[in-house]
Structure 1
Amino acid sequence: MDLASFDTVKSAGEGAVMEVLHPADGTVLKDDNGQPITITLMGADSEKAKRRQRAEINKRLKSGRNTKITAEEMEENGVNLLALCTLSWSGIKLDGHLLECNAENAAMIYQRMPWLREQVDTFVGDRGNFLKA
């Protein structure tokens, strides 16, 4: 077995499609045309995600030993990382309008919809989602 087939850094950077699930019953949510609502995401092992995480750690280290991070800052960092990992989506509608996929909208929707943020966070962190079967 060639370990290169398990290169999660490369495959996580290429992204994988997550179907958005209903927060209560776990069924796949559908758009107005009956198609699954999806979000294409990079994995936590992607080089882009790792660079972002390292930048946050370096920022904390440079600010000194006595610098404290608040829960709000931790949450914001997590939301921004997930927004960075969001490559595209289909069928994402909010308040009657289809949303363009960009980092600002992704951060806004993940902040506003904690159940969706949780799904995205779980998907991004699961290496199995980024390995080809």
Structure 2
Amino acid sequence: MDLSVFDGAAKAFDEGFEVDIVHPTTGKKLGMKVRVASYQSQRVRDVQRRLANANIRDQKRNPKKVQTVEEIEDRAVDVMVAAVLSWEGFERGGKAIECTTENVRAVLINPDLWFIAEQIDAAADNQLAFVKASPAS
């Protein structure tokens, strides 16, 4: 097989794709769109490495320290936040919510909005969504 058919896959991971956020029970589009990078993208991998290196440094400083569940969850959210490239259609009280790191984090950790985090996580983890089908040979 000619491996060149996969050229550009890494670029697709970085550029991401648009996800329509749907209602958790009806499946209807809610008018919110999120451009999601792959968990294999460079930006996400950079965050994963930064977090892993910080963990290694913490362990060297204090070998007896054990990560708490909250710390592990926070790091998982950091990775998911890194996968969000942009969004549109997000509002609160009729005002648009800008796509900033802080705002993305606030939405992702809001227990009332669990379905948004779930859909973003699933999209970022779906590597096949980023790779175009190769032409039949």
TM-score (norm 1): 0.85
Percent identical: 28
TM-score (norm 2): 0.83
Give 1:94 shift.
Answer: 2.2
Aligned to 1:73: 71
Where is the strand percentage greater, Structure 1 or Structure 2?
A: 2
> How many residue pairs were aligned?
127
Distance 1:29 1:63, change over 3 A: same
Which of these residues, 30, 53, 74, is aligned with residue 58 of structure 1? Answer: 53
Which of these residues, 92, 97, 103, is aligned with residue 99 of structure 1? Answer: 97
Give CA-to-partner distance per residue, 1:85-109, whole Å, 9 cap, x none: 2111111112332111111111111
Give runs of ≥4 in structure 1 deviating > 4 Å.
Answer: none
Across the aligned residues of Structure 1 and Structure 2, the Cα RMSD in angstroms comes to 1.7
In structure 1, stretches of 5+ residues that fail to align are 31-36
* CA distance in 1: counterparts of 2:75 and 2:94, whole angstroms: 28
Question: Could you tell which deviates more after superposition, 70-79 or 39-48?
Answer: 70-79
Distance 1:90 1:131, change over 3 A: same
* CA distance in 1: counterparts of 2:5 and 2:27, whole angstroms: 31
Aligned to 1:127: 127
Aligned to 2:24: 23
SS at match of 1:18: strand
SS at match of 1:62: helix
Aligned to 1:44: 39
**Is the 1:8–1:127 contact (alpha carbons within 8 Å) kept by the matching residues of 2?**
no
* CA distance in 2: counterparts of 1:115 and 1:51, whole angstroms: 26
